[in-house]
Amino acid sequence: MASQNKKKILNDPVYGFITIPNDLTFDLVEHPYFQRLRRIKQLGLSELVYPGALHTRFHHALGAMHLMGQAIQTLRSKGHRISEAECDAAQIAILLHDIGHGPFSHVLEYSILEGIAHERVSLLLMKDLNRQFSGRLSLAIEMFEGTYHRPFFHQLVSSQLDMDRMDYLNRDCFYTGVAEGTIGADRIIKMLDLVDDSLVVEAKGILSIENFLSSRRLMYWQVYLHKTSLCAESMLVQIMRRARFLLTQSEQDATEAVFTTPALRVFLSKPVTMEEFENHPEYLSAFTQLDDYDIWTSIKLWSQHSDRVLSILCQMLLDRRLFKIMMSDQPFVGELVREIEQQLLDSGIRQDELSYFLVEGVATNSAYLPSIDNINIKRKDDRIIDIADASDLPGIKALTNMVRRYYICWAKNRVQRPVWLV
């Protein structure tokens, strides 16, 4: 039977095996929109710090789908009725939750599509797939949007305890080699329960939740906001900004052409608003052609471009000669910034080029913001309380504080092309 042929298992070093549960899911996985995720790294440029962190959105999405299956199995075993259609929809919703990610995931999220979050693109693509698959994704889309009448499905897709985080934390730990960040995803999932169709965690899972929040914080500073990644990502953002500048300038000034793939040109040659994006299918079509390879190949070609800002930044990134960075709990004083600017000017950078070689920014992180989205604990007496109240650790409250780190990074001693490339 067709259905048997399509029942596939995939090797996953994190979970052993992942089973694709049914034909529709299989067809979605086979679809070019989803296959594109094979070419988008989960962690952008973190591979420059953690050489093993090469995993993609493709594997992450499958992993999250796998965990969704386990979560539903747990909830059913506790007596909650979940239909096959709901189960399928929930797995599809999580499978496709990241389908709107573009090249380098979060790194270029607001850079290629200015001001457009990836979730909005995911939704557009899901609707397009729904059209192609004759409406069979409607329930999944409701769950994704949070309009389905049983809220826990949306919570499993997107909340403090969603299957997205369960998968990415474990997967990122695995591929970076930061073993100490490991969370007890399987234990947390076994502790999930429902009260009034909302997700809660059994009281005996509190320690695992605390560990989960604490590990998440570790991963933020150790990996996601690692200072060397911040440098590389700042450089990439400046590269894209310069390319966009040259592309929009070039017609008048007739400088050397700036290579881009056709799909990338669509987004670099002029800003696209969300409204345009929604109403003109050619944008969505171009977007689904884009992946990390467009960017990397552009960087490689740009490293030979006659514009020296572009070529220097590109060659530096290719050779992993990165900016120097300083981080601080306080904003940097103007004096320091001006001193660095002077150094750059002394080294031959022009005033109008400064902003490409000196970047200021803020990295923020809060492990848990109960004001936005709660983690609810079900006590033994069946009362529901917030994790920050359930925990005996004042520290869990501490995790709710926003941490803010200021950084400044700049091209130090490296603006020239390396000797071996002369």
Identity of the residue, 54 or 345, whose beta carbon is nearer to a copy of itself in the bound complex = 54
Neighbouring residues of 251: CB distance < 8 A, sequence distance ≥ 6: none
Q: Which of 300, 308, 412, 414 binds a copy of itself (CB under 8 A)?
A: 300
Q: Which of 47, 98, 233, 307 binds a copy of itself (CB under 8 A)?
A: 47
The minimum distance between CB 274 and a copy of itself, in angstroms, equals 23
Cβ atoms within 10 Å, residue 322? 23
Q: 11 — phi, psi (to 5°)? A: -70, 135
Q: Is 143 exposed, middle or buried (0-12, 13-18, 19+ CB in 10 A)?
A: buried
- C-alpha–C-alpha distance, residues 140 and 306, integer Å: 49
Decide if residue 393 touches a copy of itself (CB under 8 A).
yes
**Footprint (CB under 8 A) of a copy of itself, residues 100-129:** none
Stretch binding a copy of itself (CB under 8 A), from 48-56, 112-120, 151-159, 350-358: 48-56
Q: Which of 240, 399, 409, 415 binds a copy of itself (CB under 8 A)?
A: 399
Give yes or no for a contact between 20 and 66, defined as CB atoms under 8 angstroms apart.
no
Give yes or no for a contact between 117 and 106, defined as CB atoms under 8 angstroms apart.
no
The minimum distance between CB 196 and a copy of itself, in angstroms, equals 19
**Footprint (CB under 8 A) of a copy of itself, residues 255-284:** 261-262
Q: Which residue type is seen at 280? A: H
- C-alpha–C-alpha distance, residues 283 and 297, integer Å: 21
Decide if residue 160 touches a copy of itself (CB under 8 A).
no
**Footprint (CB under 8 A) of a copy of itself, residues 346-365:** none
**Footprint (CB under 8 A) of a copy of itself, residues 167-226:** 174-184, 186-187, 190, 207-208, 210-212, 214-215, 217-218, 221-222
Rounded to 5°, the CA angle 86-92-98 comes to 140
- C-alpha–C-alpha distance, residues 306 and 148, integer Å: 54
Tell me, by CB under 8 A, how many residues bind a copy of itself.
Answer: 84
Stretch binding a copy of itself (CB under 8 A), from 46-54, 117-125, 236-244, 339-347: 46-54
- With tokens 């492990």, the residue in question is 367
Q: Is 392 exposed, middle or buried (0-12, 13-18, 19+ CB in 10 A)?
A: exposed
**Footprint (CB under 8 A) of a copy of itself, residues 216-245:** 217-218, 221-222
- C-alpha–C-alpha distance, residues 33 and 288, integer Å: 6
Strands 198-202 and 376-378 turn out to be parallel
The minimum distance between CB 146 and a copy of itself, in angstroms, equals 28
Decide if residue 333 touches a copy of itself (CB under 8 A).
no
Decide if residue 136 touches a copy of itself (CB under 8 A).
no
- With tokens 């894209």, the residue in question is 240
Q: Which of 282, 329, 335, 382 binds a copy of itself (CB under 8 A)?
A: 329
Identity of the residue, 199 or 286, whose beta carbon is nearer to a copy of itself in the bound complex = 286
The minimum distance between CB 17 and a copy of itself, in angstroms, equals 6
